[in-house]
Amino acid sequence: MTVAFRRAEISRRSFMIGAAGLTFGVVSALRFPETEATGSAELALSPWVTISTDDKVAIMSPAAEMGQGSLTSLPLILAEELDADWSKVRVIVAPPNDELYKNPAFGYMYTAGSNAVTAYFKDLRRFGAQVRKVLLANAAQRWDVPVEELTTEPNVVVHEKSGRRLSYGEIAGFAQIPSKAPEVVESDLKRPDQFRLIGKDVMRVELQQKVNGTAQYSIDVQLPDLLYGAILRAPVEGAAPDATDDAKARSIAGVVRIVRLPYGVGVIAKTPWAAFDAKDSLEVTWSRTGKAWGFNSERALIAFAAAARDMSQPVKLWAKAGDATAALKTATMVVEAEYRNDLVYHAQMEPLNAVASVSPNGDACELWCGVQSKTIAVTVAAEALGISSDKIIYHDMLMGGGFGRRGHRDEEYVHDAVVLSNAVKKPVKMMWTREDDVHNGRFNPLSVHYLRAGFDSAGNLIALAMK
Amino acid sequence: MAWDFRVNGQAAHSNAPPDTPLLWVIREELKLTGTKYGCGTGLCGACMVHIDGQRAFSCQTQMSEVDGKAVTTIEGLSGDSSHPVQKAWLAERVPQCGYCQSGQIMSAADLLVRNPRPDRSQIVEHMSTNICRCGSYPRIIRAIERAAKEVAP
């Protein structure tokens, strides 16, 4: 089994809504260079599955891989119901397309909240079972036998009565795709005791690359004529550069361009060290706009704690069952606790970065990034350039950790890369230093929780109030 | 200035300024991107390489210190992921996001050269130079114990 991080090329000829209300039908031109090299043909049986005549099964993986393993686990769920031979499966990273590959829990391609497996589970089983049904129907027609007499073994349709067998690859050589997706009912799915893959110890598809240095994160991207970008962002959100003294930055060998932005100052250079040096030597006076000037988190936490304990202040109820306030008054014993939650940095190991290459006339952009929502990244790039999303060529990269930091609606580090590349119309690897990553952090918010628990004389909990 | 050194057994050359961190030359000039940038201040270990057979933070090593030296990166540890530490890393399924793992592996390989039979506390002490945000530490320790059995049965 292999994994392809190269961009899957998809052009849709037609889509039909199947009987089960699922997108099905024909996807053409899902191309894999290795297959072309071997001269085997391939058949897209659904937007999720392509089977080639050399018996390889390509399965789309729709979630973002940031170390949690869903690059492997999601296609594995589909492979289970397809009854695919996992050793013949190639995992393909799904391209940005919310309609086809959205996380059912969110309605778009977004990997967060530890829900990829649970959210995609039912649909992926159904998608796998649908393709298996198509293969069975084609084999039944070829052998002129009732489909009920057929079973599958990994990658093989079997007619036990006659001892005949057809591999999935052989069927791909002649299969007709139905115009309507086959309906899948519960009894079409495997019982858990029939699982060959789910629940088994399966090697993650990208793990080999993570022990020999070949795993590709966006920070690793290399391109001809690649320039390096750094950005000094405002000290607080909403502030803007008023005056910039960039004389020293410009004097650094290798600096190509200083770029004024509404929220900071960017530097483009021929080497990363020149870009970082130049960024550090910028002298910027910031406007006093923005709300956070003078904010002191230690003082804020003390104020939050006082507010949490002050019962005279109005509250907004989150949840209520019974009457804790009244019950507390009857309690024999009340236990109080205060929990302080400080600002917390995401601290993903790979400082945020992205690579963008804007075309010479600014009407298209190639993008390399590791993000928790690739369709957001495409939108961010398109909006930054004022062009349509179909002009963005997106390359999916592994993430050196996500932890929620790469899933914001603005994916601002992607924006940074795009605007810097747009300034020079050349490929730019925009990197935040670790210091930038902290400085531009979107920390876990401050909060103080004040809890009271009331117990009766027998020690039973009779009231719980949390503010 | 010009620097001549060796990387993974091959001659390497750079004209970067003397105070340029070796890390960036390895990554962006030599295109050996397995060595990672994590902090730039010697706090995380993602940039760990071997210089003349000793582990070193490549982000804390300036080009002026590298001239004439022999550098080994994760790409040069073995040609085929067959180093006992790499095999043990796969067997124990160590990596999650994987970003810190080149550095972890280079540190672990350095330990086993120096001390082929480390006990658990020696492993923990030696590996304290490297951090992992995914929290793969228990598997890192198990993998080093496994690799040690192969190195010094």
Which string of DSSP letters, residue by residue, matches A22-78?
-EES-EE----HHHHHHT--EEE-SSSEEEETTS-EEEEE-SPPSSSSHHHHHHHHH
Range of the domain at B141: 84-151
Q: Rounded to an integer, what distance in angstroms lies between the CA atom of residue A233 and that of residue A223?
A: 26
Query: Do residue B27 and residue A220 have CB atoms under 8 angstroms apart?
Result: yes
Asked if the C-beta of B93 comes within 8 angstroms of chain A's C-beta atoms, the answer is yes
pLDDT in tens, B109-140: 999 999 999 999 999 999 999 999 999 999 99
Question: For residue A419, what are its two tokens?
Answer: 């605007």
Q: Rounded to an integer, what distance in angstroms lies between the CA atom of residue A387 and that of residue A450?
A: 49
The pLDDT of residue A12: 40
Question: Are B8 and B72 within one domain?
Answer: yes
Q: Domain count of chain B?
A: 2
Query: Do residue B24 and residue A272 have CB atoms under 8 angstroms apart?
Result: yes
Cα A417 to chain centroid, rounded: 18
- Give the CATH number for residue B144: 1.10.150.120
Question: Are B48 and B88 within one domain?
Answer: no
The pLDDT of residue A2: 53
Question: Are B17 and B37 within one domain?
Answer: yes
- The one-letter amino acid at B99: Y
* Chain mean pLDDT for chain B: 97
Q: Rounded to an integer, what distance in angstroms lies between the CA atom of residue A464 and that of residue A81?
A: 46
Relative to beta strand A156-159, strand A150-153 is: antiparallel
The pLDDT of residue A40: 74
Question: Within 10 A of A346 (CB to CB), how many other CB atoms are there?
Answer: 18
Query: Do residue B97 and residue A207 have CB atoms under 8 angstroms apart?
Result: no
- Domain end residue (candidates: B76, B97, B120): B76
Which string of DSSP letters, residue by residue, matches A341-356?
E--B----SS--EEEE
Phi, psi of B83 (to 5 degrees): -60, 140
Query: Do residue A219 and residue B36 have CB atoms under 8 angstroms apart?
Result: yes
Question: Are B7 and B72 within one domain?
Answer: yes
Q: Rounded to an integer, what distance in angstroms lies between the CA atom of residue A111 and that of residue A105?
A: 10
- The one-letter amino acid at B77: L
Of B32 and A41, more confident: B32
Asked if the C-beta of B89 comes within 8 angstroms of chain A's C-beta atoms, the answer is yes
Question: Which residues on chain A are in Cβ contact (under 8 Å) with B95?
Answer: 67, 207, 210-211
Residue in the block written with tokens 């002490």: B125
Contact A160, A49 (CB under 8 A): no
- Chain B 22-61, CB below 8 Å of chain A: which residues? 24, 27-28, 31-41, 44, 46
Contact B85, B41 (CB under 8 A): no
Nearest CB among B27, B28, B99 relative to A349 is that of B99
Question: Which residues on chain B are in Cβ contact (under 8 Å) with A210?
Answer: 95, 98, 101
Question: Are B126 and B91 within one domain?
Answer: yes
Question: For residue A263, what are its two tokens?
Answer: 């929220």
Question: Are B60 and B110 within one domain?
Answer: no
- Domain end residue (candidates: B35, B59, B76): B76
CA atoms within 13 A on the CB side of A149: 14
Compare all CA atoms of chain A with the CA of B62 and give the residue at the minimum distance: A273
Question: For residue A101, what are its two tokens?
Answer: 């590959």
Query: Do residue A271 and residue B101 have CB atoms under 8 angstroms apart?
Result: no
Query: Do residue B16 and residue A273 have CB atoms under 8 angstroms apart?
Result: yes
Contact A440, A233 (CB under 8 A): yes
Query: Do residue B133 and residue A213 have CB atoms under 8 angstroms apart?
Result: no
Query: Do residue B100 and residue A349 have CB atoms under 8 angstroms apart?
Result: yes
Q: How many CB pairs under 8 A join A and B?
A: 114
The class that CATH gives domain A2-208 is alpha beta
Helix/strand/coil for A142: helix
Relative to beta strand A89-93, strand A57-61 is: parallel
The pLDDT of residue A4: 54
Partners of A259 in the β-ladder? A266
- Give the CATH number for residue B12: 3.10.20.30
Q: What angle do CA A377, A382, A386 make, to 5 degrees?
A: 155
Q: Rounded to an integer, what distance in angstroms lies between the CA atom of residue A465 and that of residue B136?
A: 37
Per-residue pLDDT at B19 exceeds 80: yes
Closest CA to A215 of B133, B27, B97: B97
pLDDT in tens, B61-94: 999 999 999 999 999 999 999 999 999 999 999 9
Nearest CB among A68, A212, A217 relative to B99 is that of A217
Interface probe with A: pick from B49, B50, B85, B97, most Cβ of A within 10 Å = B97
Which of A401-427 are b and which e, b meaning 16 or more Cβ less than 10 Å from the residue's Cβ? Answer: bbbebbbeeebbbbbbbbbbbbbeebb
Residue-by-residue pLDDT tens, chain A, 467 positions: 455 554 444 444 333 322 232 333 333 334 444 444 556 788 888 899 999 999 999 999 999 999 999 999 999 999 999 999 999 999 999 999 999 999 999 999 999 999 999 999 999 999 999 999 999 999 999 999 999 999 999 999 999 999 999 999 999 999 998 888 899 999 999 999 999 999 999 999 999 999 999 999 999 999 999 999 999 999 999 999 999 999 999 999 999 999 999 999 999 999 999 999 999 999 999 999 999 999 999 999 999 999 999 999 888 999 999 999 999 999 999 999 999 999 999 999 999 999 999 999 999 999 999 999 999 999 999 999 999 999 999 999 999 999 999 999 999 999 999 999 999 999 999 999 999 999 999 999 999 999 999 999 999 999 999 99
- Domain end residue (candidates: B76, B111, B140): B76
Question: For residue B52, what are its two tokens?
Answer: 């003349």
Query: Do residue A216 and residue B27 have CB atoms under 8 angstroms apart?
Result: no
Q: In what order do the strands lie in the sheet with A150-153?
A: A150-153, A156-159, A164-167
Q: Rounded to an integer, what distance in angstroms lies between the CA atom of residue A386 and that of residue A364?
A: 10
Closest CA to B100 of B58, B48, B41: B48
Query: Do residue B93 and residue A204 have CB atoms under 8 angstroms apart?
Result: yes
Question: Which residues on chain B are in Cβ contact (under 8 Å) with A347?
Answer: 133
Query: Do residue B98 and residue A350 have CB atoms under 8 angstroms apart?
Result: no
Q: Rounded to an integer, what distance in angstroms lies between the CA atom of residue A239 and that of residue A237?
A: 6
Question: Are B61 and B120 within one domain?
Answer: no
Q: In what order do the strands lie in the sheet with B10-14?
A: B10-14, B3-7, B70-72, B48-51, B54-57
The pLDDT of residue A43: 84
Q: To the nearest whole angstrom, how far is the Cα of B114 from the nearest Cα of chain A?
A: 21
Q: CA dist A378 to A147, A365, A367, Å?
A: 44, 10, 8
The pLDDT of residue A3: 59
